Amino acid sequence: MEYFTTIINLSLLASMVRLSTPLILAALGGMYSERGGIINIALEGIMLAGAFTAAAVTVFTANPWIGLIAAVAAGVLVSLIHAVASIEFKADQVVVGMAINILFIGVPALVSGALFESTGSTPPLPREQTLPDWNIPLIGSIPVLREILSGHKPIVYMALAMVPLSYYILFRTRFGLRLRAVGENPEAADTAGVSVRGMRYAGVLLSGALAGLGGAYLSIGQNSLFTRNMTAGRGFIALAALIFGKWHPVGAFLACLLFGVADAISIRMQGVVPVPVQVIQIIPYVLTLVVLAGFIGRATPPRAIGTPYVKEK
Amino acid sequence: MTLLILFRHLDILTCKIASSHFPIGHQSSMITRPRSSSRGVSADIHAMSEDPKYAVEMRDVTKRFGEVLANDSVSLAVAARSIHAIIGENGAGKSTAMNILYGFYTADEGEILLDGEKRSINSPRDAIRLGLGMVHQHFMLVEPLTVTENIVLGAEPVAGLSLDYKRARSRVREISEQYGLRIDPDARVEHLSVGQQQRVEILKTLYRGARLLILDEPTAVLTPQEVDEIFAILRGLREQGKTIIIITHKLSEVLELSDNITVMRDGRVVGNLSTAGATASGLARMMVGREVLLRVEKQEAQAGASVLEVRSLSLRGKAGNASLEELSFHVRAGEILGIAGVEGNGQTELIEIIAGLRAQTAGEILLEGRPIDRLNPHERKRRGIAHIPEDRHRRGLVLPFDLADNSILGVHQDAPISGALLLNRKVIEERAKRLVRQYDVRPPNIALAARALSGGNQQKLIVAREFDINPKLILVAQPTRGVDIGATEFIHRKLVELRDEGAAVLLVSAELDEVLNLSDRVIVIFEGRIVGEVDPKSVTEEEIGLMMTGGRKEAGERGSRGPEEQESGERRSEGAEE
């Protein structure tokens, strides 16, 4: 029982929000890509690129906001590789995504070695050079919500804002309708005068921007440096959340919270519960497996996902 | 409906008249012949070119694909506010001509005039801008989206940053009321029946301001009732000033619906004529280039002992599949038993169960009195069950394989085709050559990939392979889908021949005409149950059509459909994908 109160309390929920943030951003990013019909398993690699770029740029500029923008740009650039390969050259999207993931295990180490003479990590940033904590005026005065929602990094609020915004974009705008149409039946969209190529580029690049931002949160928000492979599979967990959430922004958001709380619990259990740390650390990953094995059969992906669009004749 | 029945009888009548009293001349007198007078035709059209009563004119349009001349100096004129049918066999070039008109292809030569003005149409976007609309045979709809979303897609009204769903919906409602195309604007397209999906396609073109509608094989996937409805809709559109072109090969429908007809063969226009005075047999002769039997000629069946017996066969359908409930029937040697029904009511599943491709949940199947439930498809084939599957690309052929390899599928383990270890190439090739010759598969090159053949010739190859095992029972599903008149006639004749040699035939077809013409007995299936048996010689299309829809003729078109109805609509739409 004493374990219980140590682990389950209000600050657990705050920690859930923090840990969910990179997942939410990457999952929503993946949603734009996959709703448009392009599988994006490169989220992991894109997040790594974003995390490294954010840290490295902040080291040189001493301004985390510039680092943040650079991370988004890096995400867009990396996803551009994905887009060109899968849209122009009609490459297998899973292979392209995997290649990007493998590439960005190595690229940060290489560049880091050249810039900072350390392939393991970037130099740690002083606290004032990481993103600030924001106290939200209105929420800051409500007792319970204050504990959970106030005092987070700006990226946390961006992620939370992206959920309703994505819902609006996907289901209430012309762009969203066209994106969904292209992901379900590109031929029909094409004959209706929608540019399949254009929409798919937009979807993939948006996913890059959001996943890059998610990566930045890891290196200049939650931490103050980039370390090798610091995403630790979060890109894949985000992908699982996207599937578990049925490619729906709210569904994906809730799934991310679930993974976030699992992560938070496992962190809190370490050193408290008499179980080897390694066992505790695998909780979020086991949860991913269970969720996907148990629920994936019921989720219907966009129908044209993974298939390059080839115009007849 | 009554009209249709009338035409079925007229058909027979006019066939007789045409063949007895007017052997050739009757037809040709009103037909402008192709090559010899094509200059003359175009001259006529040219003379009238400034006359805006033609909504569309194509003049000497030629299109080559590599060495193939797909359209050879095609000229036709479509009167404004008329329904114009373009008919011809597969590969006659009718779709090519319409795709040129709609801007999918660019013509190598020739010109197109719309309302008397010369236009260049380089893309579907151009065509839409000029008031053309096309309804493809395979619907271009995004199934998970709503009717409204599908209609406005690509030309959405917006308010600020948002899509203006309110305006979109009211516009859809407005057009659907104006043209009498009833539809629920908020229904999801995947829940609609095929007929309703077609309405959505038509609404799409009208929403974009189409004045001329091109419909490619609009009735191919519809039930008889739905055909009546679409005809009423098309006539209504004509009344309201639209011009309509339909591409089809169903002659009875051409005669019933159209005002004028263009007949194409081998990429050329072989005749432009008025529907008044045209006959089915005359049109068939023009399309095929020789005399064609539209009716199957057959003797009374000499039915023998029961070959196939199906007892209380049930299947609990999983997602996307129909269920079967307690089906019992038998097929005797020397008879053709037809199964009539709207696609997706269990026919596919039934045939697959008997062929051994799918397991039933309950019930048994006997071949010549012995149960075959435990046998795999190959063992069943050895017992004499031939199967012509409904999806020849997925089940019937391996498309990248050559004709020789395709000709042994299913018998590839049997001597003398297969030796102890290796295939016997020589036997295979000789057999393939013989089959190709006997069944007139063209081109007769057994080293050619099956993919390279036309639908009709692919089907002939399958028929050849299956019939060559001397079957006791033949399972035939959609034998002439996408097959042209000439090959259809051939396949029908072969089926009757095998029947007369004592084979039992179980026939499933979405073409009611085909079921009624070929079968000696017909059972009607609806939602996995047998609703009754009818005599194909005496039943009317109306009676059987009613049975095929479970007696609920008016259901499914008033926008107030129950969940059950929706489900069957979904199945139907799946079955429609060929």
Q: Give the residue extent of every domain in chain A.
A: 2-126+151-298
> Do B44 and B8 share a domain, yes or no?
yes
How many whole angstroms separate alpha carbon B84 and alpha carbon B244? 6
pLDDT at A298: 61
Could you tell me if A35 lies within 8 Å of chain B, comparing CB atoms? no
Residue with tokens 């180490």: A109
* Least-confidence region, from B2-6, B144-148, B337-341, B364-368: B2-6
Question: Is position B539 within any domain?
Answer: yes
pLDDT at A60: 95
pLDDT above 60 (res A247): yes
How many whole angstroms separate alpha carbon B225 and alpha carbon A10? 64
Q: Say yes or no for a CB contact (<8 Å) between A177 and B156.
A: yes
Q: Mutate which of A35, A172, A191 to disrupt the B interface (most B C-beta within 10 Å)?
A: A191
As beta bridge partners, residue B367 has: B308, B370
CB B211 within 8 A of CB B240: no
Residues of B in contact with A199 (CB under 8 A): none
- Residues 6 or more apart whose Cβ sits within 8 Å of residue A296: A243, A244
Q: Say yes or no for a CB contact (<8 Å) between A174 and B155.
A: no
Q: B86: part of which helix (H) or strand (E)?
A: strand B83-88
Q: Say yes or no for a CB contact (<8 Å) between A193 and B128.
A: yes
Residue with the larger pLDDT of the pair B213 and A281: B213
How many whole angstroms separate alpha carbon B530 and alpha carbon B49? 57
> Do B239 and B364 share a domain, yes or no?
no
pLDDT above 60 (res A271): yes
Could you tell me if B125 lies within 8 Å of chain A, comparing CB atoms? yes
Question: Is position B425 within any domain?
Answer: yes
Q: Mutate which of A178, A185, A190, A311 to disrupt the B interface (most B C-beta within 10 Å)?
A: A185
Could you tell me if B136 lies within 8 Å of chain A, comparing CB atoms? yes
- Residue range A47-60, pLDDT digits in tens: 999 999 999 999 99
Q: Say yes or no for a CB contact (<8 Å) between A192 and B141.
A: no
Q: B234: part of which helix (H) or strand (E)?
A: helix B224-239
- Residue B435 distance to chain A (closest CA, Å): 32
pLDDT above 80 (res B26): no
Could you tell me if B137 lies within 8 Å of chain A, comparing CB atoms? no
Of B241, B267, B288, the domain-final residue: B288
Q: State which of A172-176, B420-424, B508-512, B527-531 shows the largest mean pLDDT.
A: A172-176
Residue of chain A with shortest Cα separation from B135: A191
Two tokens at B507?
């026939």
> Do B321 and B409 share a domain, yes or no?
no
Residues of A in contact with B153 (CB under 8 A): 177-178, 181, 188-189, 192, 194
How many whole angstroms separate alpha carbon A276 and alpha carbon A282? 11
Residues of B in contact with A189 (CB under 8 A): 142, 153-154
Q: B154: part of which helix (H) or strand (E)?
A: none
Closest listed residue to residue B265, CA positions, set B484, B461, B463? B484
Two tokens at B236?
């209504």
How many whole angstroms separate alpha carbon B242 and alpha carbon B336? 44
Share of chain B above pLDDT 90, in %: 53
pLDDT above 60 (res B174): yes
Closest listed residue to residue B75, CA positions, set B31, B112, B102, B107? B112
> Do B379 and B474 share a domain, yes or no?
yes
Could you tell me if A311 lies within 8 Å of chain B, comparing CB atoms? no
> Do B273 and B422 share a domain, yes or no?
no
Confidence of residue B321 (pLDDT cuts 50, 70, 90): low
Q: Mutate which of B143, B146, B149, B153 to disrupt the A interface (most A C-beta within 10 Å)?
A: B153
Residues of A in contact with B144 (CB under 8 A): 180, 184, 303
pLDDT at B120: 92
Share of chain A above pLDDT 70, in %: 97
pLDDT above 80 (res B432): yes
Question: Is position B544 within any domain?
Answer: yes
- Residue range B235-290, pLDDT digits in tens: 999 999 999 999 987 888 899 999 999 999 989 999 999 999 899 889 988 988 88
CB A189 within 8 A of CB B153: yes
Q: A196: part of which helix (H) or strand (E)?
A: helix A196-216
* Cα separations in angstroms, B150 against A31, B208, B513: 21, 12, 33
Of B288, B315, B343, the domain-final residue: B288
Q: Say yes or no for a CB contact (<8 Å) between A189 and B153.
A: yes
CB A177 within 8 A of CB B148: no
pLDDT above 70 (res B42): no
Q: Mutate which of A34, A174, A180 to disrupt the B interface (most B C-beta within 10 Å)?
A: A174
Q: Say yes or no for a CB contact (<8 Å) between B163 and A174.
A: yes
Q: Say yes or no for a CB contact (<8 Å) between A192 and B149.
A: no
pLDDT at A297: 56
A:B CB pairs within 8 Å: 62
Q: How many CA atoms lie within 13 A of A309 on its CB side?
A: 28
Could you tell me if B128 lies within 8 Å of chain A, comparing CB atoms? yes
pLDDT at B37: 38
Q: Say yes or no for a CB contact (<8 Å) between B145 and A173.
A: no
pLDDT at A2: 66
- Residues 6 or more apart whose Cβ sits within 8 Å of residue B123: B103
- Residue A187 distance to chain B (closest CA, Å): 7
> Do B313 and B359 share a domain, yes or no?
yes
Q: Say yes or no for a CB contact (<8 Å) between A177 and B143.
A: no
Closest listed residue to residue A121, CA positions, set A231, A227, A230? A227
Average pLDDT estimate for A230-259? 94
Residue with the larger pLDDT of the pair B158 and B566: B158
pLDDT at B561: 37
Q: Say yes or no for a CB contact (<8 Å) between A178 and B154.
A: yes
Could you tell me if B159 lies within 8 Å of chain A, comparing CB atoms? no
pLDDT above 60 (res B36): no
Q: Say yes or no for a CB contact (<8 Å) between A303 and B163.
A: no
pLDDT above 90 (res B427): yes
Closest listed residue to residue B227, CA positions, set B571, B496, B541? B541
Question: Is position B153 within any domain?
Answer: no
How many whole angstroms separate alpha carbon B444 and alpha carbon B439? 10
- Residues 6 or more apart whose Cβ sits within 8 Å of residue B534: B340, B522, B523, B524, B543, B544, B547
* Least-confidence region, from A169-173, A281-285, B388-392: A281-285
> Do B436 and B345 share a domain, yes or no?
no
How many whole angstroms separate alpha carbon A33 and alpha carbon A204? 4
Could you tell me if A192 lies within 8 Å of chain B, comparing CB atoms? yes
Question: Is position B394 within any domain?
Answer: no
Could you tell me if A96 lies within 8 Å of chain B, comparing CB atoms? no
Out of B144, B162, B204, name the one closest to residue A172 (CB).
Answer: B162
> Do B229 and B358 share a domain, yes or no?
no
Residue of chain A with shortest Cα separation from B165: A172
Of B448, B466, B484, the domain-final residue: B466
> Do B42 and B72 share a domain, yes or no?
yes
Could you tell me if B70 lies within 8 Å of chain A, comparing CB atoms? no
Structural domain for B457, as ranges: 404-466
- Residue A245 distance to chain B (closest CA, Å): 17
Q: Say yes or no for a CB contact (<8 Å) between A174 and B136.
A: no
How many independent structural domains does chain B possess?
A: 3
Question: Is position B432 within any domain?
Answer: yes
Average pLDDT estimate for B554-570? 39
- Residue A174 distance to chain B (closest CA, Å): 5
Could you tell me if B373 lies within 8 Å of chain A, comparing CB atoms? no
- Residues 6 or more apart whose Cβ sits within 8 Å of residue A282: none
> Do B309 and B379 share a domain, yes or no?
yes
pLDDT above 70 (res B32): no
CB A48 within 8 A of CB A230: yes
Closest listed residue to residue B272, CA positions, set B570, B577, B32? B32
Residues of A in contact with B139 (CB under 8 A): 188
CA B425-B430-B431 angle, 5° bins: 100
Residues of A in contact with B162 (CB under 8 A): 168, 172-173
Residue with the larger pLDDT of the pair A169 and B480: A169
Residues 167-206 of B with CB under 8 A from A: 204
pLDDT at B569: 39
pLDDT at B48: 43
pLDDT at B49: 43
Residues of A in contact with B165 (CB under 8 A): 172
ipTM of the complex: 0.89
CB A132 within 8 A of CB A153: yes
Q: Say yes or no for a CB contact (<8 Å) between B204 and A176.
A: no
Residues of B in contact with A303 (CB under 8 A): 143-144
pLDDT at B317: 72
Question: Is position B275 within any domain?
Answer: yes
How many whole angstroms separate alpha carbon B130 and alpha carbon B452? 36
pLDDT above 70 (res B562): no
CB A122 within 8 A of CB A59: yes
Cα Rg, chain A, nearest whole Å: 20
- Residue range B308-317, pLDDT digits in tens: 999 999 998 7
Out of A174, A187, A303, name the one closest to residue B140 (CB).
Answer: A187
Out of A168, A173, A178, name the one closest to residue B153 (CB).
Answer: A178
Average pLDDT estimate for A248-266? 93
pLDDT at B7: 45
> Do B120 and B217 share a domain, yes or no?
yes
> Do B27 and B113 share a domain, yes or no?
yes
Out of B139, B153, B204, name the one closest to residue A194 (CB).
Answer: B153
Q: Span A2-126+151-298: which CATH code?
A: 1.10.3470
As beta bridge partners, residue B533 has: B523
pLDDT above 60 (res B559): no
CATH number of the domain enclosing B30: 3.40.50.300
pLDDT above 60 (res B60): yes
Closest listed residue to residue A224, CA positions, set A104, A20, A56? A56
> Sheet holding B504-508: strands in order across?
B385-388, B473-477, B504-508, B336-340, B521-526, B529-534
How many whole angstroms separate alpha carbon B78 and alpha carbon B259? 10
Out of B140, B143, B158, name the one closest to residue A191 (CB).
Answer: B140
